[in-house]
Structure 1
């Protein structure tokens, strides 16, 4: 398994669960703020709820990761994944079809439904990522597994985009339930990781320490780079619908813009796989960061009616998206292997990795939304100063963080030439 890359069919069976997990992510992280704002919930209060629940979501990931390591076995993982999928589907339906009205009841409903959904989502995500990391292998195999997981995830995002905006949330919920069932079923026939460490029965006392990943300098450096780069993506993901509706003023183009971004991301995955094979994962990632800045800086010049200009931005940033999807997970599994923790601590690494991803999103929602309201922006705003603040928050800040991540890569990572 470690000498040659797994066949694409086997990698696809592993990666299929990534489709419903990513399907959930688009409504949860992109559509949810606008959905509850349309129900009359103030942005500042909504931002605080999202910040609190997303911080809770992030903080439980390392604990779930250690639990996964302590009780790891493929049969047990499949059973737990089935229960997590059931909870995820139920929580998603409750979240987007609230049974209450009024600001306070809606805020409580949103918080509780998000908590249930996030626990199920986190457990399924950590288990799925741990499974792939435990398969290990060369950089080519690792990138192939990640590419199938993230590539099928983009298919899930496209489905969510099309169904939620065109067919409605009821149809999206039905498709989510079906995709979750298929993803868990396919994993029964996926490659099974080797188990080099046997956990103590019924106890987590023998599991590796929760802080074990942080003892390695290489993981700390990769995590710093991953988080800084992730903030650059989290801010526009939170603000994209507001930007389309109020700055570009083309809400009818929303499926086209989002679809172009994610289709280009999916199409670019084979390109980035080829670059990873030719240049190595690290250098390929740096190329993606630079391309993203070049494409996204054009946001600052856009105004009302600039649909073609914004479509070009979506295509350029979608092309760069493939690097962010394929490279970080590839590097993470390499870090685990070089640290000597393969087959025993992938859950802990995956938990901290998920925490970093969600912390970025939590900060984006909890800080960007209240700040925009303080600067005078609200949904439907047409005041030039408010719209300019939206442009700077949506366009300039991500570029600043991408450039900072590129500088950090240059200082801490590129000379090591690590895979």
Structure 2
């Protein structure tokens, strides 16, 4: 696959990822600070909404395998995503913010799920070789990180008021979404499916996916690692404002983290080619644990130290974004145990969102029980925030690393035939694959 087509596929990842940042990072603080929703209520609402969204994802994925093409399904999800995000960041005056939050999240999650499940499955079906699969994911996630960086700094640049800046950022996001969607959906062809169009009951498709032992063990690693990452993502803006006392620099910290992830993507791609995707991912977890352990020790004025932590953990982020999905694509493409692409990524999205649901449903109420409220200035409240933000993720990340290292060799796909395009399982020719490697 030529570089231009790789980019055309990956570019839609930018606005999709940019949409995810306010959903999972800005919304908790926005509704707590600007609309007075308590952390306990907010945690319950976010947990319930994300749980329902997660439960629907495997059904969307399995149903998508019965459709005739991925592109039209990606299109179908973009409109509710755009409308829902506009509603989410600007509740009308006089409305109950809790009920408005529930409705807007339902619309956003429906559109986001339909688009991303089919977008990811499309990439897996385009992956004619393991190396091509890794590069498709790396380009997609590289573009996604660019989108996240833009989303992290845009609100602060557009307005000193957080709520107004977030609203303006979403308005600028809309035309970028439209342009990126046109490039991807018209420049990238439909792929030859690893398996023919599915007509089995949805239960059978999902059962086949979940019966695969390699996929289940990969899911276990992904879940532990995902919760470890989702807790800091949920709490980072509170930590920056109330522990570091540097709310005005939140855009800088987030941008540094995501830029480091973008720059590290080629490194993890090369390491995965040489040492394997699973072992490279495990190495990134060791790096993340080593540097993030220092976050608990920080206090007011430790901006420089936190910047170093953001940069180093951002390097590990590059592996988190590129390698797990590439491992799933490898399992989808196995000749001995082929998996449904839509079903696999539907279940994958389910676990991703369960990670985020558990992070919000556990961390926010826990902070409320420990006496922390946004804007707290007493030492005990800030210590509680620092402990939940900086220590809880370490144990989860360590468990994920041990489990992944234990099964690293088993999770890697078997050697692929020299030309999978001849078998109807990919679109890249041998000449294109040789060009890619060169």
* TM-score bracket for this pair, using the shorter chain length: over 0.9
Residue 180 of structure 1: how far off its partner (Å): 2.0
Q: Which residue of 2 aligns with 1:374?
A: 369
- For 2:86, which of 90, 93, 117 is the aligned residue? 93
For residues 268-312 of structure 1, the C-alpha deviation after alignment (integer angstroms, 9 at most, x for no partner) is 101111111111101110110000011101101100111001111
Residue 82 of structure 1: how far off its partner (Å): 2.0
Q: Which residue of 2 aligns with 1:416?
A: 410
Secondary structure of 1:381's partner? coil
Q: Which residue of 1 aligns with 2:231?
A: 235
For residues 364-387 of structure 1, the C-alpha deviation after alignment (integer angstroms, 9 at most, x for no partner) is 001100000000001011111111
The Cα RMSD (Å) is 1.7
- For 1:180, which of 177, 182, 190 is the aligned residue? 177
Residue 179 of structure 1: how far off its partner (Å): 2.3
For residues 379 and 342 of structure 2, what CA distance do their matches in structure 1 show?
Answer: 48
After TM superposition, the score normalised by the length of structure 1 is: 0.93
Residue 11 of structure 1: how far off its partner (Å): 1.3
8 A Cα contact 2:62 2:202, kept in partner: no
Q: Which runs of 5+ in 1 are unaligned?
A: 1-5
Q: Which residue of 2 aligns with 1:396?
A: 391
Residue 80 of structure 1: how far off its partner (Å): 2.8
- For 1:143, which of 131, 134, 143 is the aligned residue? 134
For residues 114 and 8 of structure 2, what CA distance do their matches in structure 1 show?
Answer: 19
For residues 208 and 112 of structure 1, what CA distance do their matches in structure 2 show?
Answer: 31
190 and 276 in structure 1: CA distance in 2 versus 1, 3 angstrom threshold: same
Correspondence list, 1:172-321, <5 A: 172-187=169-184, 188-195=186-193, 197-199=195-197, 205=201, 209-321=205-317
Q: Which residue of 2 aligns with 1:49?
A: 45
Residue 224 of structure 1: how far off its partner (Å): 0.4
Q: Which runs of 5+ in 2 are unaligned?
A: 159-164, 414-438
210 and 415 in structure 1: CA distance in 2 versus 1, 3 angstrom threshold: closer
For residues 115 and 86 of structure 1, what CA distance do their matches in structure 2 show?
Answer: 13
Say whether residues 1:152 and 2:150 are aligned partners.
no
- For 1:116, which of 92, 107, 122 is the aligned residue? 107
Give the total of aligned pairs.
405
8 A Cα contact 2:261 2:314, kept in partner: yes
346 and 415 in structure 1: CA distance in 2 versus 1, 3 angstrom threshold: closer
For residues 240 and 353 of structure 2, what CA distance do their matches in structure 1 show?
Answer: 24
285 and 86 in structure 1: CA distance in 2 versus 1, 3 angstrom threshold: same
